[in-house]
């Protein structure tokens, strides 16, 4: 079936408004758009006839594509035909496709009628109104199909989600009551990932997986659960399983939950098997494992492993042994057997912790004192300057033309700082008050030693400025326009005469 038809390749169906926008915009883009009243009447007629024909052909092409891509129930496999009847209602589906076909024929007829009328148009106005009426009637026909277009788009989306089931290949079909383990079995033997939950009707549609058995590829189909009631009372989910059982050539694997944990008794499950047994005609059916010991069939817990099941490993006195273990645990807990050693700290550990805290505090204070000894704003002096006395420093500053009172003041401050204790230094540095300086520095003297050096620097600066002054002080920072009238902005198109008009 997959080689005959692929539901996933159906083109999306636009809505009614989008359908009109697609067709009319294509007409505007693909046909001429300029016409004048002074043109010959034959040219005007052909202009508007072309637009009407082009629009009609586009509608016909789009609608024909929808009709050809959607499957026809009479031409596909009976399994897919009945499945679509269950999911979408065969009558509704055929009605939607029939309306698309009717709209196609009506649009074709409108196009033919107005092309015939345009042949007798005697003016530009008359031809334009006929074209407008033709496109309007086509658009009205398509607006009436908006519900059918929306329905077909929903069908297309659902068809694309259907599993790719091949009705003609080697198939194993799993069926039975809900929650009996069909999906779990499917996940074990194939690579399919079917949702498994501890409640009924977790599987609501058909799922397909594949496995290899004895060098042969098998298609495994997991079906939704079926309940034991008349066919007319079954819902859409159950009817998918019935459809697969009725039309697919397959080997049927009927699951029975002997533990009755699915919520249905063995009698009900056997009754369902006999009610759907007519669907198993000409199909091999496997109902239960062939056990070595027939008595195992009556076990309450039928999980078989090496001749035993889970019930064989259960001790009859397990409840009494569990109560005894709980009483022993309560006694040990009351005696403090499970008390943690971390809750009792001896004196040695406390003393060790106190010593560690003292060492940490001492290290922190040492770091603070080291930071206080360091003055960040003090410049690094060469070794020769350190050996100089205050008198030598003062005489050196006087030779340079600077005042020496600052050096003597700094010397007194440093002597006072050396005489102060460590606690006084910390107290003085922690205070927020800052001494006010009485020395006012001359900013014009920054970077020079004395007045003489300042005058020399001014002279050099003026000499360097002499050359720019000759050119009206045009320097690197001055705004300059190199070309007053650039040719690419002021020249016109080249004419017959001279181009260099400037």
Q: What is the pLDDT along the chain (502 residues), one digit of tens a residue?
A: 344 567 888 889 999 999 999 999 999 999 998 889 889 999 999 999 999 999 999 999 999 999 999 988 888 888 888 888 888 888 899 999 999 999 999 999 999 999 999 999 989 999 999 999 999 999 999 999 999 999 999 999 888 888 788 888 888 888 888 888 888 888 888 887 777 776 667 777 788 888 888 888 889 888 888 888 777 778 888 888 888 888 888 888 888 887 777 888 888 888 888 888 888 877 776 657 566 667 766 666 655 556 566 666 667 788 888 888 898 988 888 887 777 655 555 677 888 888 999 999 989 888 888 877 765 555 555 556 555 666 777 777 777 777 666 555 555 545 554 555 555 655 554 554 444 444 455 666 777 888 888 888 889 988 888 877 777 666 666 677 777 777 777 776 666 666 555 4
Which has the closest alpha carbon to 37: 115, 122, 123? Answer: 123
Q: At what angle do helices 124-143 and 90-118 cross, to 10 degrees?
A: 180
Domain 163-298 has CATH 3.40.50.300: yes
Distances, alpha carbon 108 to alpha carbons 61, 115, 131, 141, 228, in Å: 11, 11, 14, 11, 53
Tokens standing for residue 284: 């091999």
Coil/strand/helix, residue 313: helix
User: CATH number of 7-160: 1.20.120.1190, 3.30.420.10, 1.10.10.10, 3.40.50.150?
Assistant: 1.20.120.1190
For residue 178, what is the DSSP state?
T
Where do the CATH 1.20.120.1190 domains begin and end in the chain? Answer: 7-160
pLDDT for 48 equals: 94
Distances, alpha carbon 377 to alpha carbons 97, 113, 407, in Å: 92, 101, 16
Residues 221 and 210: their CA atoms lie apart, in Å, by 9
- The secondary structure element, H or E, covering residue 244 is helix 236-247
pLDDT for 437 equals: 43
pLDDT for 51 equals: 94
pLDDT for 128 equals: 93
Residue in this structure with the two tokens 């645990």, named with its chain if needed: 329
pLDDT for 119 equals: 92
Do 254 and 285 contact (CB within 8 A), yes or no?
yes
Sign of CA dihedral 298, 302, 307, 310: negative
Residues 304 and 291: their CA atoms lie apart, in Å, by 9
pLDDT for 100 equals: 94
pLDDT for 438 equals: 43
Which has the closest alpha carbon to 54: 134, 169, 141? Answer: 134
pLDDT for 433 equals: 44
Tell me the whole-structure pTM to 2 decimals.
0.53
Residues 300 and 289: their CA atoms lie apart, in Å, by 16
Residue in this structure with the two tokens 């309560």, named with its chain if needed: 330
Tokens standing for residue 374: 């360091």
Tokens standing for residue 313: 């490993």
Residues 359 and 116: their CA atoms lie apart, in Å, by 110
Coil/strand/helix, residue 353: helix
Do 269 and 257 contact (CB within 8 A), yes or no?
yes
Where do the CATH 3.40.50.300 domains begin and end in the chain? Answer: 163-298
């Amino acid at each position: 079936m997959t080689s005959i038809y692929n539901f996933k390749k159906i083109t999306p169906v636009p809505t009614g408004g989008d359908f009109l926008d697609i067709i009319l915009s294509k007409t505007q883009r693909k046909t001429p758009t300029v016409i004048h009243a002074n043109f010959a009447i034959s040219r005007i007629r052909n202009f508007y006839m072309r637009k009407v024909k082009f629009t009609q052909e586009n509608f016909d092409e789009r609608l024909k594509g929808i009709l050809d891509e959607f499957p026809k129930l009479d031409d596909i496999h009976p399994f897919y035909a009945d499945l679509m009847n269950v999911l979408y209602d065969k009558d509704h589906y055929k009605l939607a496709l029939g309306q698309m076909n009717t709209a196609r024929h009506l649009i074709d007829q409108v196009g033919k009628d107005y092309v015939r009328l345009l042949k007798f148009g005697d003016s530009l106005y008359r031809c334009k109104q006929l074209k407008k009426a033709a496109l309007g009637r086509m658009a009205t026909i398509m607006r009436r199909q908006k519900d059918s277009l929306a329905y077909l788009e929903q069908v297309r989306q659902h068809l694309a989600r259907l599993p790719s089931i091949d009705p003609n290949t080697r198939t194993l079909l799993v069926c039975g009551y809900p929650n009996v383990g069909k999906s779990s079995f499917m996940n074990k033997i194939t690579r399919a990932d079917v949702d498994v939950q501890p409640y009924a009707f977790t599987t609501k549609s058909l799922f397909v997986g594949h496995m290899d058995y004895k060098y042969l590829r098998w298609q495994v189909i997991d079906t939704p659960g079926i309940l034991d009631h008349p066919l007319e009372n079954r819902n859409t989910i159950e009817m998918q399983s019935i459809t697969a059982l009725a039309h697919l050539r397959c080997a049927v694997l009927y699951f029975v939950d002997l533990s009755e944990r699915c919520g249905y008794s063995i009698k009900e499950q056997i009754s369902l098997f006999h009610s759907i047994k007519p669907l198993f005609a000409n199909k091999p059916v496997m109902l239960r494992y062939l056990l070595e010991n027939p008595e195992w069939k009556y076990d309450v817990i039928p999980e078989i492993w090496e001749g035993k099941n889970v019930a064989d490993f259960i001790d009859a006195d397990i409840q009494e042994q569990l109560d005894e273990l709980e009483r022993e645990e309560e006694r040990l807990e009351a005696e403090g057997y499970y008390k943690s050693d971390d809750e009792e700290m001896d004196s040695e550990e406390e003393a060790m912790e106190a010593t560690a805290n003292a060492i940490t505090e001492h290290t922190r204070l040492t770091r603070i004192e080291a930071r206080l000894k360091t003055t960040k704003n003090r410049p690094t002096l060469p070794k020769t300057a350190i050996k100089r006395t205050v008198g030598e420093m003062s005489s050196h500053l006087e030779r340079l033309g600077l005042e020496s009172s600052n050096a003597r003041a700094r010397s007194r401050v440093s002597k006072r700082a050396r005489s102060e204790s460590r606690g006084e230094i910390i107290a003085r540095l922690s205070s927020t008050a800052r001494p006010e300086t009485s020395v006012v520095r001359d900013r014009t003297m920054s970077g020079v030693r004395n007045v003489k050096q300042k005058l020399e620097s001014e002279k050099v600066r003026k000499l360097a400025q002499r050359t720019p002054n000759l050119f009206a002080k045009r320097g690197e920072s001055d705004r300059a326009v190199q070309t007053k009238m650039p040719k690419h902005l002021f020249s016109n198109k080249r004419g017959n005469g001279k181009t260099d008009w400037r």
